[in-house]
Amino acid sequence: MIPLTIEELDEVVKECNKMTTKAALLSACSGAVPAPGLNVAADIAILLKLIPKISRKFGLSREQIEEYDEEFKILIFDLIKQAGAKFTGRYITKELIIAILKRMGIRITRQITKFIPIIGQMASASISFAAMKLVATAHINDCYSVAKEIIARRQG
């Protein structure tokens, strides 16, 4: 269910930020391991769980939206489109996650840096942490924008 007030919405953001930090730490750990492809696979697995979890917290997962009445669904999808949200209201697939990560150019940088002993692994872990935070925070911001507009329209 979409939060009814800005206060509820702000609480959802706090919860999602905590989830994001935990996921980013997990990503950093996998990024530090010098095994080709491990961190990419880990990031995909993490994001496949994290993104839908964030969407559900905001009441904006594809399944939740499908349960709303037609008029409300149209409003939500219009707001999602206006916000330019990449994940909101969509089914999250491995292919979608890979496309987003590739667009960010993170995969290649991490693969190169992790083979430089110690410093490279630290750099790879840092990049993994930052990338996960970036992707998840962007999704939180997209969901926040859509939910905030819905709250404003309900009140006005």
Please determine, for residue 11, whether its predicted confidence score (pLDDT) is greater than 80. yes
Return the higher-pLDDT residue of 57 and 91: 57
Q: How many helices and strands, by DSSP H and E, does the chain display?
A: 7, 0
CB of 59 within 8 A of CB of 148?
A: no
Distance (Å, rounded) from C-alpha 106 to C-alpha 96? 15
pLDDT above 70 coverage of the chain, percent:
82
**Looking at residues 73-95, what average pLDDT do you find?**
85
Closest C-alpha among 71, 116, 68 to residue 89: 68
In this prediction the pTM is 0.82
**Ramachandran angles phi, psi of 93, nearest 5°:** -120, 160
In one-letter notation, the amino acid at residue 60 is L
- Helix 6-32 to helix 119-155 angle (10° resolution) is 160
Q: What is the C-alpha R_g of the chain?
A: 17
pLDDT tens track for 142-155: 999 999 999 998 88
Distance (Å, rounded) from C-alpha 45 to C-alpha 29? 14
pLDDT recorded at residue 124:
72
Three-state DSSP class for residue 90: coil
pLDDT tens track for 43-66: 889 999 999 999 999 999 989 999
In this structure, what token pair is assigned to residue 37? 């492809």
CB of 28 within 8 A of CB of 110?
A: no
């990049």: which residue's tokens? 127
pLDDT recorded at residue 103:
67
pLDDT tens track for 107-143: 545 454 555 566 666 777 787 888 889 889 999 999 9
pLDDT recorded at residue 98:
75
- Helix 119-155 to helix 38-57 angle (10° resolution) is 20
pLDDT above 90 coverage of the chain, percent:
46
Return the higher-pLDDT residue of 20 and 116: 20
pLDDT recorded at residue 85:
81
In this structure, what token pair is assigned to residue 54? 């964030």
